[in-house]
Amino acid sequence: MDMPRGRRRAFDRDAALDTAMEMFWRRGYASTSVADLTSAMGINPPSLYAAFGNKRALFEEALRRYSKERARYLSEAMAEPTARAAVLRFLAGTAEAATLPDRPAGCMTVQGGLACAEEDREVVELLATYRAGTRQALLERFEKALADGDLPPGTDCAALARIVVATAEGLNVEAAAGATRQELAAAAALGAALVPGS
């Protein structure tokens, strides 16, 4: 007698999520349709909804996966002994991560929100929140450097954190436009030189 067969997912969830992350990274949230996602992931829409909920929930999970990948070099950079060394490592890490051969060029938190319509405003705000987390980590590192005497008295730590994040975002935009890792590394070194101290 034939035994009833249980229904099994016909796809690897982690691999599907990785594919979705790359789609959102390359094309942005607004320009990536459910049809694009299911085609690239090799699944049908009901499987996507069963596994991830909907496009927005899939995007948020992909963004968490992306941020986990990028968090490593940020935490390593913040552990450097001086503020300038921390920024150099952070910007050099940004240049490297933006030009990995097996990943899209640039940054998902920058490119994911490009061309979003008003109805996708929450996606833009979500991406801004992730970028703000990086700025906050830099701000806290600079405030520590200021208290330790590594930065000159009167240094505007908030403005310094903002210009470093803007530089990192610029490196990502340049990478997406075709800049090489060597070109970005040179720009990263100049960006780090904005930080007072040694």
Residues of the chain below pLDDT 70: 1-11, 114-118, 198
Confidence (pLDDT) at 5: 52
Q: How far is CA 32 from CA 51, 60, 118, 130, 164, in A?
A: 18, 14, 16, 20, 30
Angle, CA of 66, 70 and 73, to the nearest 5°: 170
Q: How much is the pLDDT for 110?
A: 81
Domain assignment of residue 7, yes or no = no
- 29-58 residues labelled b (16+ CB within 10 A) or e (exposed): bbebeeeebbeebebeeebbbebbeebeeb
DSSP string, 69-89: HHHHHHHHHHTSSSHHHHHHH
In a domain, 5, yes or no: no
- pLDDT tens for each residue of 134-147: 999 999 999 999 99
Range of the domain at 137: 13-192
- What pLDDT score does 116 carry? 67
Burial of 154 (0-12, 13-18, 19+ CB in 10 A): exposed
CATH number at residue 67: 1.10.357.10
Place of tokens 């990274």: 25
Return the pLDDT at 37.
94
Task: Write the burial class of residue 190 (CB in 10 Å: 0-12 exposed, 13-18 middle, 19+ buried).
Answer: exposed
Check residue 175 and give its pLDDT. 94
Q: Are 153 and 144 in contact (CB under 8 A)?
A: no
**Pairwise CA distance, residues 152 & 39, whole Å:** 55
| 197 is a domain residue | no
Is residue 79, in this structure, part of any structural domain at all?
Answer: yes
Whether residue 8 is contained in a domain is answered as no
C-beta neighbour count of 79 within 10 angstroms: 11
Determine the Cα–Cα distance for residues 42 and 39; give it in Å rounded to an integer: 5
Which two structure tokens, joined as six digits, stand for 42?
A: 């090799």
Does pTM top 0.75 for this prediction? yes
Is residue 1, in this structure, part of any structural domain at all?
Answer: no
Q: How many domains does the chain contain in total?
A: 1
The values of phi and psi at residue 40, to 5°, are: -70, -35
Tell me the HSE value of 89 on the side-chain side, using a 13 A CA sphere: 17
pLDDT digit string (tens) for 111-125?
777 666 667 788 888
**44 in any annotated domain:** yes
